[in-house]
Chain A
């Protein structure tokens, strides 16, 4: 065969010691090789190759020698899923704005490329210069959920970095994790150097300073740094508020296997690691230079976070609990970020992000002003909001001025009034039906309703109430048009740390499946009412990792070794692999997942402080079991969850200026149909 592709010379991965010359600060460093030339010929052989090339608008590609500290920011899933992540985007900007810092990005290669990389000796790489993972000072990974854990191990291994933290030396990157799943990093404890709790903006820059100082002290001189230099780095990191170094803590267990306590064993390591909270979002007006992908991703839009936190207190919701308190961005800042961002990126869609976007105290004005700015243009606005009330419909009407009124999504989460009291989702059936009535009468064609099964204290009656609510909504839909649709989307509940439901038992998949079939059976005579469900087995791994302790770490490692990757993907059914890993490591899934904990038992995340008082959570858990609701503390009296006093801030909502406060209707659902500002604007609208 003539002209056969010579195996391109792939730069060799150096042994660990020589890597130190790459890690040195500034121009003295030997720049690591780029793997682009080796990678390029392989890209015609893989799915969606554009995800690996980088080079997008707003990418920052700096010289290696121009930086003293070098970060590789990673979302441990495909580019398609990870690229739109706001956390990575913000940190990418704030780090790269520093004159002596460089940050590049990495995502998980799909299995086809991974196999080729392993065959050809191409390590995990950054997108900007295709530099190898091992060359960076920090490998910082965001964990929005637990299903990226095996990908994290895989990336380390593919990046020629020891997967075990205690095997790493000064020539290896520091492995940091952040994001929601970092609030219980115990199942990853042996693999990470540190977990960073809470908002990343400030703490990331502090870590960068620590790193720069440490490099000056240990890497600049002629002396060869020994293993104690690595330990010194961990110690300095542990001094940064919000940074948890698992190696400095040890779990102690009761004889029966329950956790007694996790204790700090390193002098100076804090007994309780507090989360970080950025108090004023106005100081962090990002993204300003959002990366514009050249290939399809899950969210193709310019996104602005309009507030952080949520105070509704839905008891199942980890995001709502751990991101308290609410901090809003000012309407004029939102407007400016959007206008600049749309111009700079060329995106034709704007997303106003937050956990519950209709809850911004000035959302009416924000929506109106943006809708005015983009009226008659091809720019569309989206507001992911699932609040069940008339206000949300009005808001959606406003935002859809440029488009078609297709689908609205509401999340009553549970079917019966009693169940909604248990989870503290304060929506009445009357609210929902009234909201549906309004939505369909205003021309919306499709309503999606989100529910969960497997909630604590749930009976079959509660489950059947989901079907019932779906049917009633569907009857309303039909009344307004035979083509109108209703979809009920039902997932299995997974208890998460730092929530009042952290003590409860998770339903095993068979039980979830049974409950789903109850619903399916109950709606079978209503052809136009659609049911969407996930595979109940999908919650098994997530549940185990969410509330597992350090004894679950060997399972993660074993599952990865057995080939588990992309655990959240339908294309990659990994449950059997995990079951085998559980068996081989002797870890009892049921003990971790479907066992109710009592008040005395220590939880693996007790030494990580999300700001919520454990006693308060326990009380709320008791209230839940007694079907007692709790009000939203943004609008009504504070109920002392513990977050605010520690931060010496109150919920930061509302501003003096061109609109009234409070703008939200009191209570949920019974709300006004009008946006609170300039209601006359809508007179012609509908």
Chain B
């Protein structure tokens, strides 16, 4: 009996440096270690049926990765996916799962938008947060916001604006007792691709440095004030409740 599960997982800490190419074998080995009956593709070089909707650039952190796993035999998801989560490298954890009924829409269709987070080092916090807030307002008021994406195969101009659904800059306390500036953005996934790096380019006007970290927080349906996470249906707010996070 074939069973499909969609899971949300994290790619934090050291694992954010694992490339998309290497991820397949990290998952395959994890699945084999806990001996789960993952289904394999046919052919001479069978691959485990683990599919990822899209690749995260190397170095980006994420609490909003997704995957679809197809099993050739029934599993006990609470127990077995927890075991799988345990055996994955530290930083990779399965946080939610959902069994997939027949005829369910494709996973990608459940991930219409992404909540991104750009985190700066703990410097210039007040000034930077103010400046970013102003720039966000300006951008949201514009019809178009073109940036040039530099690639080895040539420059491309893209309009960031249509993808931007919501933006908010805030200061967030850090573990070390400082604060740092965080920009959260909901970007649509169903139009031409706009990356958070493009968003940075549109806001920086050459006087805001690259953030120290890009993080994909969650994916799902855009709603007022944030995003309804695809698997849990919980709303992830655009501006997080700082006290709740610190707790």
Contacts and interface: CB of A to CB of B under 8 A. Distances in A.
A292 B19 CA distance: 15
Interface in A1-45: 1-6, 41, 43-44
Given A3-B211, A50-B19, A378-B46, A345 B29 contact: yes
Given A294-B18, A296-B21, A2 B207 contact: yes
Interface string B121-139: 1111001100100000000
Contact of A6 (B18, B29, B33, B121): B121
B208 A41 contact: no
Given A1-B209, A2-B208, A6-B123, A348 B128 contact: no
Contacts of A56: 89
B225 interface: no
Nearest to B206: A1
A57 B87 contact: yes
A467 B59 CA distance: 50
Interface string A345-362: 111100000000000000
A53 B15 CA distance: 8
B30 interface: yes
A682 B221 CA distance: 58
Question: What class of interface size applies to chain A in its complex with B?
Answer: 20 to 34
A131 to B, nearest CB: 15
B35 A295 contact: no
A378 B87 CA distance: 20
Contacts of A87: none
Contact of B29 (A49, A296, A346): A346
Nearest to B119: A3
B90 interface: yes
B31 A3 contact: no
Contacts of B15: 53, 55, 294
Contacts of B46: 378
A346 B30 CA distance: 6
Contacts of B124: 2-3
Contacts of A54: 14
Contacts of A348: 28-29, 32
A343 interface: yes
Contacts of B242: none
A662 interface: no
Contact of B181 (A3, A44, A49, A50): A3
A57 B29 contact: yes
Of B14, B19, B46, B212, chain A has the most CB atoms within 10 Å of the CB of B14
A4 B22 contact: no
Contact of A292 (B29, B35, B90): B29
25 contacts: A1-B207, A1-B209, A2-B131, A2-B209, A3-B120, A3-B121, A6-B121, A44-B59, A48-B19, A50-B19, A55-B91, A57-B33, A57-B87, A295-B18, A295-B19, A296-B21, A296-B22, A343-B33, A346-B31, A346-B32, A347-B32, A378-B46, A403-B44, A403-B45, A404-B44
The 4 closest A-B pairs by CB, nearest first: A346-B29, A346-B32, A3-B120, A44-B59
Given A2-B128, A3-B181, 4 more contacts: A4-B123, A5-B210, A292-B29, A347-B29
